[in-house]
Amino acid sequence: MARYHVYGIGNALVDMEYEIDYADLEALGIDKGVMTLVDEAKQLEIMLYLASHHHQRGSGGSAANTIIALSQFGGSAYYSCKVADDELGHFYMHDLREGGVDTNHHTEKDQGHTGRCVVLVTPDGDRTMCTFLGVSGNLSDNELVEAALRDADWFYTEGYLVTSPGARATSIKAREIAAAAGVRTAISLSDPNMVTYFKDGLLEMIGPGVDLIFANESEAMGLAGTDSLDVALDYLKTLSREFAVTRGPKGALVWDGRTLIRIVGNKVDAIDTVGAGDMFAGAYLYGLTQGWDRQRAGDLASAASARLVTTLGPRIRREETQEILLGFA
C-alpha cells in the first residue's frame, strides 16, 4: 500500500486576493479572466494601485490548492515546491503543513523572493491573475523527493510549470519516474493562456500520454485547436487514458476510458471562481484513491467546486469538506 494517495509538484505562490471593479482592470491594462506572468516591478505597481483595497492571503498555486483539497477530504498527500528563505516562504511551508500536507521543507532554500500571485476578482466572480514566480521559476530536480513520488498512487502536476524551462523539465522527469514506478499520472492544463502560448510545452509535459487530464472547456478546445467541444474530447482521448473537462455551472464531462459520463452541475450564486478547477481535481482524485467509480467521484468534485465558488478564496475549511463528504457516505 502506497504511503501517499497523491504526490504533487507545482509553483509555490502566496495568493493575495482582491475584490475589484471592471474599471480597475481597465486602468491597470490587464486581460480579464486569465493568468499573466509579470515581473516583480509590475506586480508591485499593481499592489500599490490596490493599496486601499482589503486583501487576504494564503498558500496557493494551482497544484497546491488541489493537494490541500485532497488532504482536507482525508487523503494523504506530498507536495514538492520551491520557496525562498523569506517571510512568505516560511509562511507558505507552515500553511502547507497546517493543511496536513507533507512537503520538501527540509531542502535548502534559496535567497530571493517567494512567488506571489495577485488575484483580482471582478463582480461576476471571474478571476484574473498576475503572477510573479520569484524563486519558483527556478524549480528543479533538487525539489523532487523521488522516494515519496515512488510511494504514491498518483502523480499530479500543473500546466503552469510549462512557462519555466527548468520547471517543465522537472515535471517531465517526475512523470517519467512515476510511470516507471507504476504510479498513475495526471496533469491539469491550468489556464487558457498556457494552452494559447505554451501548447508545445504542454504536449511535451504530457509526453507519450498520461492517465488523467483535467481541463475546462476553453483549455480543451484550445489544446485541440478547435471550437468544437466534441472534437476536443476526441483529441484528449489520444493524449490520456481518462479525462475530466469542467463546464462551470453546466457540470463536467468525464471519460473513463470507455464511456463519457455527464456530471451534473450544482446551481449556486458564484461570487469567486478562484480555485474551482483545483478543487474539482482534488475532490475527484480523492474519490478515485478511495476506489469510487467515476460518477461518484465526479459528483463529489462538482459539489465541492460549487461550494467553493460561493466564498472568497481558493479554499474552504476542512469542516466544510467533511460536511460535503458526508453527503456521499
* Structure-derived torsion over alpha carbons of residues 104, 108, 113, 117, reported in degrees to the nearest 10: -10
Phi first, then psi: give them for residue 8, nearest 5 degrees. -115, 155
Q: End-to-end distance of the chain based on CA atoms, in angstroms?
A: 23
136: closest CA among 291, 5, 14?
14
Query: What pLDDT shows up at residue 56?
Result: 82
Q: What is the CATH number of domain 4-12+60-112+135-326?
A: 3.40.1190.20
Q: What pLDDT, in 10s, does the model give residues 134-156?
A: 999 999 999 999 999 999 999 99
Query: What pLDDT shows up at residue 285?
Result: 98
pTM for this model (two decimals): 0.92
CA 240 to chain centre: 18
- Residue ranges per domain, the chain? 4-12+60-112+135-326
Query: What pLDDT shows up at residue 166?
Result: 94
Cell numbers linked to 295: 460518477
Q: Which distant-in-sequence residues (6+ apart) come within 8 Å of 103 by Cβ?
A: 78, 79, 80, 81, 93, 96, 97
Q: What pLDDT, in 10s, does the model give residues 155-201?
A: 999 999 999 999 999 999 999 999 999 999 999 999 999 999 999 99
Q: How far apart are CA 67 and CA 15, in angstroms?
A: 16
Q: How far apart are CA 131 and CA 216, in angstroms?
A: 20
* Residues constituting the chain: 329
Query: What pLDDT shows up at residue 107?
Result: 65
Q: How far apart are CA 283 and CA 281, in angstroms?
A: 6
Residues in the chain with pLDDT < 50? none
